[in-house]
Each structure stands twice: as structure tokens, then as C-alpha cells.
A and B are shown apart, each in its own frame.
Chain A
Amino acid sequence: MPMQVGNRPFFEGVDEAIHDTFMVNAVSSAQDGLRGRKLSATVGDDALGDWEEWRSAGEEIRAHTINHLDYYLKQLSDNFSARGGHVFFAETAEQAQEYIKKVVKQKNAKHIVKAKSMVTEEISLNEALTDIGCEVLETDLAEFILQVDHDSPSHIVVPSVHKNRQQIRDAFKKLGYEGTDDPKELAGFARRTLRDKFLKADVGITGCNFAVADSGSICLVTNEGNANMVTAFPETQITVMGMERLVPTWKDLDVAVSLLCRSSVGQRLTTYVTDITPEANQEAVDSPKDYHLVIVDAGRSNALGTEFQSALHCIRCAACINVCPVYRHIGGHAYGSIYPGPIGAVLSPILGGYEQYGKLPYASSLCAACSEACPVKIPLHKLLIRHREKYVEGGGHPPVMEKVAMKGFSIGASSPLLFRAGAKMAPIMLKPIVHDGSIQKGPGPMKPWTHGRDLPAPSQENFRDWFKQHKGQKTANLDKGTGESL
């Protein structure tokens, strides 16, 4: 199933994750590091001027682009093909897979090198190409580690954040590695292993950080140099982009790249910001001879024209993930989607539906740290609330008990008589499970709460009675002239 990670129900994944001490520690320390770096490179960088103005510029560019997505995609594809590149528009993940398989088969290609790309994870491209007999090698260090260890990404910028160096060393042993768990030595092994593969590969596949509509260019933002290798030596190049990942002009690209580098890893610019346009005369020897651009919808258009449209403004910096208290405790895999964290909880139900991802919007404390961190001002926490509303209204299949409880509450709260009766009955009904003034093991819907903490028992005196009594006292005090207020 495209986009899916693992096959456990959401809450089972959460239960497992919160007990994985190494993972939780690794994730919190990565979050702290990335968040600190982002702050220094954004609000903390005085030379940059007003960071809020940068965010507004980002929001303005992204909102304008998505509002005119049809125009800019047409312009991009016209310009890309005018330089000899081929463009395929894929409405579904399957269409994208089929087109790419067709290109690979036509070239009789066997060896494929890939640079990190979440959209290719989303459309399960590796599996599709492996199925037709290709060797598909991930070349980003984190993705390479995950591929060797048959694992999946848990963060969109640092996909192997949940793994420690010993686990990585053990994974590399499968490829004949005999060194220590020193990160430098491990990275050196990846360099030696992959160098020859880059130079001999038939096809290179990348994602796309931003396409530039007015020139038909593709911009890749990386640190390791692997994307440059992937785009230089194979004769055939395939870039896969989510349909929303473009900007109108190079001036807009400036803002978008600046926001991305600073918000994702706290760098002024990443080591490589590489802009590729199909080469019209094809004379260079370290340039693809045949360049394909695959533009993928795969559910994105579900958000267009709806209250969720701003989710398509996302530039995939993961700043929201790096401040999320829920992600901090459950890591990425528990979400069951390759897009975790706040943006994942907003995006996954749009792309994959409420049936499968409707519970993810509950993985949020609604503290709004995500909205504040977002460099293009997506109101993430508000979108999470809207998802919850739609889910309970029947957008997915919310739990029957929750529906019944909400219905019951709605009836009870709309009648003063029933409400009073309910408030009086609560302490009596719950008495059998109250111990020492609290409920430690609640039944049914209380269970998830009492699993983590005690639930205070309902007070014998309800608020209405208390208020009535105190109001009486206040009136009495006022009469006596004390002026004590409530």
C-alpha cells in the first residue's frame, strides 16, 4: 500500500513506540538539536532582518502558486519539454509507477541509483522497480542505511533518526563492512561502496525540492553530494515531483530555498543547491541524455478548493515535526505513514483518506507549536481540528462508542433536566471504580486515559450547586459591605 509504514493500528504503534527508550531518546535529542539550529538561523540571525516577514513572503509565494497551480504546471511542462525533456502527468501512484517502469524497460536498464525522495517512497517506486528485476540503490546515507536494514523512514529530513550507530554498523556488516561504529568510518564505507555504482548506473532518480515554472528547471537541496552524482552520470534521468512542489520564478526560488535550508537544518544554504534544466544540445558528457519529469497528484488535488488547500503550501522542512511534543514521544513509525508529525497528520488523511489515517489528527496536543514553527505559515493545528471534526462527522468511520457518546452528550446537554440528573448520577455511577479519590483503571473510553494517569473522581458536589451556594454567600457578604468578589 503506497505511503503506508507498517500495518499496525495507530494506537498499537503508539504503545510500542513509547516503550522504545532508545528511539524516544534519539528522537528528542535530534529534535532539540534541529530546533536549536533552526532558531539560530531564523529568529536568531539578526542579519536576516525580520523573520516574520520572510515567513509572510513564503506564505504569499506558496499561496499564489497553489491558487494558480494549473497555469504554473502548464508553464513548467511547456518549458521543460521545450528543452527536450519529457513530462508525464500521473493522477495516481500506479500511473507514475507504470510510466517509470516503461521508461526503464525501454532503456533496458538494470542499475538504478536514487537520491532521497519522499514522493518516491509515497508511490512505492523501489518495490515497483525491483519487481521488474532492477537493482535500485538508495544513495542518501540515511536512506542507504534503511535500505540495507530493510527499514522505513521515520522523519522526512533525517529518515534514520531512530537508529543508533551500533545498529548501523551491524546493518553494514551484511555488505562486508568490518570497521567500527565511528560515524566517519561508516560514512566512508558508504562513499566507497556507492562511488562505482554512481558512475555505472543506467538510470538516476531524484525527487524535487522545487521546480521553477518559468524556465522548466528542477532544484535539489542536499548536503551529501549524492544527488549531484545521481544527476550527472546515468544517461537517463527521472525526476519525480509532487504536483505542488513548484515556484513561479527564480526570485521566488530564492525565498523558498532560503526558508527551506534555514528551517530544516539551520544552514544558511545546504552544501548543494543544484538547479537542473534539460540540456538542449546534449553535448556534455556528465549530463543526462534523456530527462523525464513525472508530476504526481496521488490525492493532492483532494485538498484544492477546500479548507485544507494550505497543506499543499508545505515545503517539507520538517520544522513542525521538530517541535511536536507528540512526535517526540512516539517517533515517526507509529504514525503508520511516511509523512509523520503534524504535517503528516494533516497530509496523510488528505492523500490516503480518513479510513486509514483518520486517527492521526488526534496525535496532537493542539499546542500550536507546529503552526508557529512553519516557515510558510500553514495553520497546522487548525487543520488538525478540522480533520477531527470531519472524522467524527462521518468523514471516516469514527469508533461507534465515540459516536454514541457524542450523541448521548448532545441529548443530555440540550435538556437542563437531563443535564442535572446526569451530573448528580455521575459520582454514584462511578463509585464502584473509585479508589482513594481517583479512578486508576477505567473501563471503556476511560481506559486510554487511565492507562497513563489517574482520573480524578467526580466531586460529590456539582458546579451548579456550588455556584448557587457561593452566589448566596456573596450576596450576603455584599449586604454586609465586605465587597469580597467571587
Chain B
Amino acid sequence: MNGTIENRDSFLRNIASKLNHTSADASQPPAWEHKYMPQEKVYQKYSTEQLVDMMKKACDPIHTKAYETTSDKLAEQLDKIIADYGAGKVVATKDERFSKFGLQNVLSKYDVYTWNYSEGHRTIDRAAEANIGLSICDVMLAESATAGLFNDKDKARSVSLLPETSIVIVPKSLIVPRLTQAMQMVEERVQKGEEIASYINFISGPSNSADIEMRLVVGVHGPIKVAYLIVSDL
């Protein structure tokens, strides 16, 4: 159902008159071609390996650890990382890729709670109590080591936000040079009239702040620790 729009006509009339526009101008998409597009020129010739290298290097300044493994060792490696980060209560997004990647046994071993929106507020409480949140990214931006998560009712935003540690699995095939490619993916959906995720979240490492005397504090309201697990053949 459409929401309401209030007070628009007089507001836009005022703008149009200041800009010397007619009412037809406001309903016609303005034609224009971008003269400058530097974003499309950068990292063009990078191979996937170079992108992985760039991503790993970008992890350091954002206080994030990057691990790399292959699909046959993924379960074993994830098990080890969960233990290294203190295990405890673990919450995971509801994402069919966990079973597709053969991770059911690890999830069972740690009694991982899988996000379930039908449980209402209780599911938020479970995420808030958890020590570790497990997600699988939808796109990874190499330039800034940024995990792009297209959050929805199942792939919940709370999982990468509330627990102290956020572990994100990164299939190597989802690594792109920078924000440009991720934004193009979204724009293509918009142009085709397809629905976009209501919460598109680009996360680069743990939350932080330099608000006190410009000194960096890692871990404010979101996670305090973030780890990426790159899977090189997925």
C-alpha cells in the first residue's frame, strides 16, 4: 500500500519558480550524459588474484582479520575460527548457502541459533545475547575490504550488528573492485523495475569512533571484532 505524500505541490512549485521551470519540466526526466566517470576507470585491469590481494591489504587498516580457505576445508576452518573467537552463543542469518557450502555440522556443533523472524522480538534478543554473528556476504568490495550485505527478513541486519564478533564468509567469486560495481548491480535492478533489498549494508570492519580527542576507539555500538573467511573456489 502506498504511503502518504503531504504538502508537496506548493513546495515543488516554489522550487520550480526559483529555477524558472515550467510544470512540464518537473515531470520530464532531465536528459544528461555524464561527462566525468573516473569511477569506471579504476582497477579495470586487476585480476581476481590482485583483487584478493588488495582486499587482504585493506583489512589491516580497518582492524579486520582475513582468513583464506578452500571449499573442502571451509567447515574445518570455520570451526577453528569460531573457537578462536571464544565460541559461546552464536547466531547465523537464515541463508540457504550455509547448507549449500556444507556447514550444517559446524552450525550444529556450536548450537548455532538461526535467525527466525517468525519468533518476533525474541529473535532479536537471541542475536543480542550472542557472542558471534555469522553471515555470508552478497558482494565484497576489494578496495576497502567491505562486505556488502543485502539484508532482508531472513538475512537479518541484526546478525552482523549486535554480537561482539562478526564473522563473514566471502565466496571469492563475489569479490569486485569497489563500490562502483555493487552500485551498478543495484541500479540494474532498479532500472528493470525489480525490488531491491530494503537494507543494503556495506560494512568495513568493526564499528569505531575518533570522537574523543581524535583517538581511534575500535568497537562502539556494533561489533568489536570482525573476521572475513575468503573461500577461494566458491
Contact = CB atoms under 8 A, between A and B. Distances in A.
A280 B194 CA distance: 13
Given A279-B199, A285-B123, A305-B19, 16 more contacts: A26-B213, A29-B214, A47-B42, A49-B42, A71-B29, A86-B4, A89-B11, A141-B220, A160-B212, A215-B186, A224-B220, A224-B221, A229-B222, A233-B124, A250-B186, A284-B198
A42 to B, nearest CB: 12
A423 interface: no
A242 interface: no
Contacts of B18: 301, 304-305
Contacts of B79: none
Interface string B192-204: 0001111111111
Interface stretch (B102-110, B138-146, B167-175): B138-146
A183 B213 contact: yes
Interface in A4-62: 26, 29-30, 33-34, 47-50, 53-54, 56-57, 60-61
Contacts of A141: 209, 211-212, 220
A390 B27 CA distance: 35
A287 B157 CA distance: 9
Contacts of B29: 71
A144 B152 CA distance: 30
Interface string B1-36: 111111110111011101111000111111010111
B194 to A, nearest CB: 10
B7 A89 contact: yes
A191 interface: yes
Contacts of B146: 269, 273
Interface string A269-300: 11111111111100111110001000101000
A164 B208 contact: no
Given A81-B3, A81-B5, A286-B124, A69 B208 contact: no
Given A91-B14, A232-B158, A249-B187, A268 B143 contact: yes
A275 B6 CA distance: 23
Of the candidates B5, B146, B152, the one having the most CB atoms from chain A within 10 angstroms of its own CB is B5
Contacts of A198: 221
A272 B43 CA distance: 23
17 contacts: A64-B32, A71-B28, A73-B12, A141-B209, A145-B211, A187-B209, A195-B128, A199-B128, A215-B190, A258-B179, A269-B141, A272-B201, A272-B204, A274-B201, A284-B198, A286-B156, A305-B20
Interface string B49-62: 00000000010001
B58 to A, nearest CB: 7
A77 B5 contact: yes
A174 interface: no
A425 interface: no
A458 to B, nearest CB: 46
A88 B9 CA distance: 11
Interface string A124-148: 0000000000000001111001000
Interface of B: 1-8, 10-12, 14-16, 18-21, 25-30, 32, 34-39, 41-43, 58, 62, 117, 119-121, 123-124, 128, 141, 143-144, 146, 151-153, 156-158, 161, 179-180, 183-184, 186-187, 190, 195-215, 217, 219-223
Most buried by A among B1, B18, B184: B18
B184 A226 contact: no
A304 B5 contact: no
A187 B204 contact: no
B130 to A, nearest CB: 13
Interface of A: 26, 29-30, 33-34, 47-50, 53-54, 56-57, 60-61, 64, 67-71, 73-74, 77-78, 80-91, 95, 99, 139-142, 145, 158-161, 164-165, 168, 183-184, 186-188, 190-191, 194-195, 198-199, 214-215, 217, 223-226, 228-229, 231-233, 243, 249-251, 253-255, 257-258, 265, 267-280, 283-287, 291, 295, 297, 301, 304-305
B3 A86 contact: yes
Contacts of B34: 57, 60-61
A224 B190 contact: no
A142 B8 contact: no
Contacts of A168: 212
A69 B19 contact: yes
Given A158-B214, A165-B213, A224-B221, A287 B12 contact: no
Given A70-B19, A85-B3, A275 B199 contact: yes
A50 B38 contact: yes
B38 A217 contact: no
B213 A164 contact: yes
Nearest to B215: A183
A297 B16 CA distance: 13
A285 B117 contact: yes
Contacts of B14: 91, 297, 301
The 10 closest A-B pairs by CB, nearest first: A225-B222, A225-B207, A304-B18, A89-B11, A268-B144, A57-B36, A279-B198, A142-B211, A225-B221, A284-B153
A53 B36 contact: yes
A234 to B, nearest CB: 12
A57 B187 CA distance: 18
A370 B219 CA distance: 33
A57 B205 CA distance: 28
A276 to B, nearest CB: 6
Contacts of B217: 183-184, 187
B7 A90 contact: yes
B213 A272 contact: no
A304 B201 contact: no
B2 A82 contact: yes
Contacts of A199: 124, 128
A242 to B, nearest CB: 13
B221 A139 contact: yes
A33 B213 CA distance: 11
A48 B179 CA distance: 13
A90 B38 CA distance: 36
B15 A304 contact: yes
Nearest to B197: A277
B41 A49 contact: yes
A83 to B, nearest CB: 8
A91 B39 contact: no
A295 B151 CA distance: 26
A269 B43 contact: no
A69 to B, nearest CB: 5
A187 B187 CA distance: 37
A301 B199 CA distance: 31
